[in-house]
Amino acid sequence: MTTHSDPIRITRATTRKPRPKDSELGFGTVFTDHMFIADFEEEKGWYDPRVEPYGPLSLDPATAVLHYSQAIFEGLKAFTGRDGKIRLFRPHKHAERLNHSARQLCIPPMDPELVLKSLTTLVDVDREWVPKSVGHALYIRPTIIASEPFLGVRPAKQYLYFVILSPVGAYYPEGMNPVKILVVDKYVRAVEGGLGAAKTGANYAASLHAAEDAKHAGFTQVLFLDGVHRKYIEEVGTMNIMIRLGDEIVTPPLGGTILAGVTRDSALTLMRDWDLTVHERPISIDEVVAAAHQGTLREVWGTGTAAVISPVGELAYKGERIPINNGRIGELTQRLYDAIVGIQYATAPDTHGWTVEV
Ligand code: COI
């Protein structure tokens, strides 16, 4: 089994791609010159970790992942700080979650230190691709797929780990402007006992129909409710959700149906540092609507690596439009965004040791 101390082979690209200006970047369309790869076989464990020129993978059409979706991924970012140094944001937490997802999908875990080494090595090789301006970052996508060519339904015996890098700007075209969200009860994203807490493509596939319907109706994303009662709030689009009701901040608990977001954890930690009243508890859409009617619904925002903090300016539920904070960015939403971004770009002290320098 390969550990983090084994050497990583590096094959450099002979030609370099043109790099767009930061201001031209959207999300996830541009990729760097290199990628990281490692293989897994039962007898060898994870082996042959290497950096190669970025390029297509060659897969047998019978490859298990193409049929039964045994695949997991992560998403994290590297930033250029004000001091010019490049830092990863909470890579250990992402490596931990990768292994959590791996367990849920019967994928062999990786040595977290090898995951960390893969990230730092690849980002170092492609370091000139890390955007330099605030609001821009290098998005890092570690992925594991079942690579065995086999059509029986069982966990594969061979896997491929790869990491690709994409310089990015804002995830939503709205940027930090408040988004309009449709609350859906026709579709659910995940159910208890299912894969909701794993970062696996199946959960994103399950969200597409609802997201398309919402888009056609003029909304940016959907808010999913729980699969049993169709009542309790779960996730907003691809993000966790937080709601400020009076002096309480509420976010749904990690019960197995939602993803344990790293930005969720960062926001909760910061708000507890600030002595705010924060509860991880079930919250129904009816409670949110009632709070809106009583005037105590103050702010709603999503948390996720891609968008960081995304203010919600309006919720629509059963035909009712519920404006939030008059469609403006709330004070706590902005404070959280500034605090997290401050740590990411090293304009604020990293008191929790969340960043790792490359
Ligand atoms: C995130 O908020 O970082 C996400 O999960 C979105 C990503 C799948 C593009």
Tokens of 190: 């995940």
Q: Say which DSSP state 239 is in.
A: B
CATH architecture of 179-344: Alpha-Beta Barrel (3.20)
Spacing, Cα 76 to ligand 1 middle (Å)? 9
Rounded percentage of the chain residues whose pLDDT exceeds 70: 98
- Range in 52-61, 168-177, 253-262 with the lowest mean pLDDT: 168-177
pLDDT for residue 114 is more than 80: yes
Instruction: Write out residues with Cβ below 6 Å of ligand 1.
Output: 75, 238-239, 304-307
Spacing, Cα 75 to ligand 1 middle (Å)? 7
Atom 5 in ligand 1: residue holding the nearest Cα: 238
Ligand 1 pocket mutation, candidates 98, 171, 259, 264, criterion most atoms within 8 A of CB: 171
* pLDDT given for residue 290 in this prediction: 97
Atom 7 in ligand 1: residue holding the nearest Cα: 306
Q: Between helices 262-273 and 91-104, what is the axis angle to 10°? A: 130
Cα(348)–Cα(134) distance, integer angstroms:
13
Ligand 1 pocket mutation, candidates 29, 166, 238, criterion most atoms within 8 A of CB: 238
User: Contact, 333 vs 301, CB < 8 A?
Assistant: yes
Which atom of ligand 1 sits closest to the CA of residue 306? Answer: 3
Spacing, Cα 6 to ligand 1 middle (Å)? 31
Model confidence pLDDT, tens digit, residues 279-329? 999 999 999 999 999 999 999 999 999 999 999 999 999 999 999 999 999
Atom 2 in ligand 1: residue holding the nearest Cα: 304
* pLDDT given for residue 4 in this prediction: 62
Q: What values do phi and psi take at 269, rounded to 5?
A: -60, -45
Cα(312)–Cα(290) distance, integer angstroms:
17
Average pLDDT over residues 22-42: 96
All structural domains of the chain with their residue ranges: 9-169, 179-344
What is the CA 140 to chain-centroid distance, rounded? 10
Tokens of 280: 């991880």
Closest CA to 177 of 27, 322, 304, 301: 301
Which atom of ligand 1 sits closest to the CA of residue 305? Answer: 3
Confidence of residue 122 (pLDDT cuts 50, 70, 90): very high
What is the CA 198 to chain-centroid distance, rounded? 11
User: Contact, 344 vs 352, CB < 8 A?
Assistant: no
The CATH code for residues 9-169 is: 3.30.470.10
Spacing, Cα 15 to ligand 1 middle (Å)? 30
